[in-house]
Amino acid sequence: MGFSAIDYVVLVAYLAGITIFGVMFRKSQRTVKDYFVGAKNTHWIIISLSIVATETSTITLIGVPAIAYANYAKPELGGNFTYLQVVLGYIIARVVIALIFIPAYFRGDLLTSYELLKQRFGPHTKNFAASLFLCMRAIGEGIRIFSASLVLAAVIGASLPNLPYLWLWSIIIVGLLTLIYTFEGGIAAVIWTDLIQLIIYVGGSLLAAYMLLRLVPGGWPAIASTAGAAGKFQLFSFKLDFTVPFTFWAGLLGGTFLTMASHGTDQLLVQRLLTCRNKRDSQKAIILSGFVVLFQFALFLMIGTMLFSYYQTGATKPVLESNDQVFPFFIVRELPHGISGLVIAAIFAAAMSNLSGSLNSLSSSTVIDFYKPLVNPNASDDYLLRLSRWFTVGWGVILILIAIVSKTFTKSVLNTALTIASLPYGAMLGAFLLGVLTKRANQRGVMTGMAVALAVMLYIWLRTPLAWTWYVLTGTIICSSVGYVVSLIAAPTTSATETNS
């Protein structure tokens, strides 16, 4: 059918509306604490849904259906529901975070997760971990912005096929609009726009699934028959192969450690937990988010399976550069006018939700972890608030540039983003576990463990076929064991209390 004027109106109305809505929160930002953790008066259910929206990017919305849609020689690589094995680990990790990490975060009035490492080990460990976060989050988010450009390129290209540099213009549009409301509204704007965006992209995905049921001759029975014959409903694989990502063991262990790192140490998501009223609300928010994510991933995998069945019925198969384009192609070509615009708006909702959270967390870590303690310890709160907004702008420009560069090396957006995130996560999680679970670990040992873990993980990534789902577990074991042993045999470093006195 193509993208019509009605679809463009729906899409533009969404982009303008969500930007204006986010800017309205500027009046609530009176201090730098307001800008980064808010007034701590938001209900935990809202924050839980914000957590889900923040970890859901365009990569999730187009990459997960692509996994189920694809055909692989090994079912452990995808082409079915085996990805849900990783999501089981996501849920287990949230329980661990609620029991171990959240109580530690609420013992002090923290603004970033890395201040916990400063309290336990000293400023050098905090600076090391925060630097890893800034680098990893910037690269990963740049790839996520690029994934959104694939969608807009498919949309505009359907009606204006000869317009050059469609992907570039889409990166700039998404980046600038999200930057505007994040700059103005801070964390409050991020949380409430997250809620709206989650409703839109889940609703849009459900609408796409409903349309697929109507488009496939024979409806659900035909879809189930075709998908079942192709093995699309396989959920578990108990094969012990460390080179494939979606086995039961990789999902349960790898998914658990990945989420312990992403939700327990990464400022992007820990920042949400710190906006809760108290420890109890934070624990409820993180655990509920796990079950919402399970529903969400099951929905996206089902859409991919339904797309596979649809294109087996004689519908014109898309010519794709990668499977990541199959869902956007279907939306633009097959959905009725108006509905197509709404679902595309839903995909942009996921992109803007993730980007806004990243911008605010990158700015918070830059100001709280680096600028204030290292450059200007006596800076006034008004000055830090103004500076925080401009650091948000600076990071926005950097992320847009990274997104542009991503076009040259990104093949599967989902695997690329998760691989990059997983490389430093093990070192970060190992440091936090040493800080929370041990008393004898010290700064020298922890920093040695982090450095060794990073070096080994880079070697594993470049030289071995180990699947990315094992990266965080491997890095955590290396960092924890090396860090603890070095702490025992090395002379004690200056304690955090002495360092900060």
pLDDT of 497 reads 43
Specify if 206 maps to a domain: yes
Contacts of residue 105, Cβ cutoff 8 Å, sequence gap at least 6: 113, 116, 270, 273, 274, 282
Q: What is the pLDDT of residue 499?
A: 43
Tell me the pLDDT band of 496, cut-offs 50, 70 and 90: very low
What are the tens digits of pLDDT across the range 146-163?
Answer: 777 767 666 666 555 555
Report yes or no on 352 lying in a domain.
yes
Residue 279 clears pLDDT 80, i.e. is over it? yes
312-316, 347-351, 449-453 — which one is most confidently predicted on average?
Answer: 449-453
Q: In CATH, what number is assigned to the domain containing residue 281?
A: 1.20.1730.10
Instruction: Decide if 388 is inside a domain.
Output: yes
Q: What is the pLDDT of residue 301?
A: 95
Q: How far apart are CA 427 and CA 131, in angstroms?
A: 12
Amino acid 165: pLDDT? 67
pLDDT given at position 495: 45
Give residue 177's pLDDT.
83
Determine which of 23-27, 238-242, 302-306, 438-442 has the lowest per-residue pLDDT on average: 23-27
Tell me, yes or no, whether 459 lies in a domain.
no
pLDDT of residue 451: 96
pLDDT in tens, 329-345: 888 888 888 888 887 88
Rounded-to-integer distance, Cα 486 and Cα 449, Å: 8
Residue 414 neighbours by CB distance under 10 Å: 21
What is the chain's mean pLDDT, rounded?
Answer: 86
In a domain, 499, yes or no: no
- Whether 465 is in a domain gets the answer no
Closest C-alpha to 126, from 110, 142, 146, 141: 110
209, 303 in Cβ contact below 8 A?
yes
* Nearest alpha-carbon partner for 230 in 81, 448, 7, 332: 81
Is the pLDDT at 480 greater than 70? The verdict is yes
Residue 185: name the closest of 397, 48, 44, 352 by CA. 352
Residue 375 has pLDDT above 90, yes or no: yes
Confidence category of residue 268, pLDDT binned at 50, 70, 90: confident
The larger pLDDT score, comparing residue 411 to residue 455, is at: 455
In total, the chain counts a number of residues equal to: 501
Q: Is residue 13 pLDDT above 70, yes or no?
A: yes
Residue 442 one-letter amino acid: N
> Does any domain span residue 238?
yes
Q: Is residue 414 part of a domain?
A: no
Other Cβ atoms closer than 10 A to 194: 26
Q: DSSP per residue over 71-136, as a string?
A: --SSGGGSSSSTTHHHHHHHHHHHHHHHHHHHHHHTTTT-SSTTHHHHHHT-HHHHHHHHHHHHHH
Q: Which domain holds residue 100?
A: 5-407
pLDDT at 498 (0 to 100): 41
Domain count, the chain: 1
**CA 334/CA 323 separation, integer angstroms:** 17
Distances (CA, A) of 195 to 90, 188, 204, 319, 459: 21, 11, 14, 35, 40
Share of the chain above pLDDT 90, in %: 44
Q: What is the pLDDT of residue 164?
A: 60
pLDDT of residue 500: 43
pLDDT for the residue numbered 229: 92
Q: How much is the pLDDT for 263?
A: 92
Per-residue pLDDT reduced to its tens digit, 66-102? 889 987 756 766 789 999 999 999 999 999 999 999 9
Question: Side-chain half-sphere of 310: how many Cα atoms within 13 Å?
Answer: 27
Higher pLDDT, 36 or 445: 445
Query: Could you tell me how many helices (H) and strands (E) the chain has, helices first?
Result: 20, 0
Which tokens sit at 22? 């986010």
Residue 432, CA atoms < 13 Å, CB-side half-sphere: 30
